[in-house]
Amino acid sequence: MLVTDIWGAFQKGKQLANSATWKNCAVLTNTLVAFIGSAVAIAVAFGYDIQISREDIQALSSGIAVAIAVGNSVVHVVTTTKIGLPSNDSNPA
């Protein structure tokens, strides 16, 4: 039942009941990731020895950016009725 509910949220014309909460969480997540990433870069610039190599930081940043992009895409689709996958009960236009 939960899987069909999740799949249904991706269909055009459907949306989550608490869309504002999901959008606020997405904005908060984006803000926190940007803040933490910039805080690490500033700390390194001021000479703090953070025991992570540049390659590891780049790999982590890339992974986090991809995860955030996918998460944002999902939030945009499931929190609006205007976009989404075609539903079985919709008529082709």
pLDDT tens per residue, range 50-93: 888 878 878 888 898 899 999 998 888 888 888 888 876 655 55
Count of domains observed in the chain: 1
Question: Is pLDDT larger for residue 1 or for residue 61?
Answer: 61
Residue 57 domain boundaries: 2-78
Portion of the chain with pLDDT greater than 70, in percent: 89
Q: How far apart are CA 60 and CA 56, in angstroms?
A: 6
Identify the three-state secondary structure at position 17. Answer: coil
CA distances for 28 relative to 21, 32, 42, 49, 64, angstroms: 10, 6, 21, 28, 14
Question: Is pLDDT larger for residue 54 or for residue 30?
Answer: 30
Asked whether residue 84 is assigned to any structural domain, the reply reads no
Asked whether residue 90 is assigned to any structural domain, the reply reads no
Asked whether residue 40 is assigned to any structural domain, the reply reads yes
Asked whether residue 21 is assigned to any structural domain, the reply reads yes
Is 80 exceeded by the pLDDT of residue 2? no
Let me know how long the chain is. 93
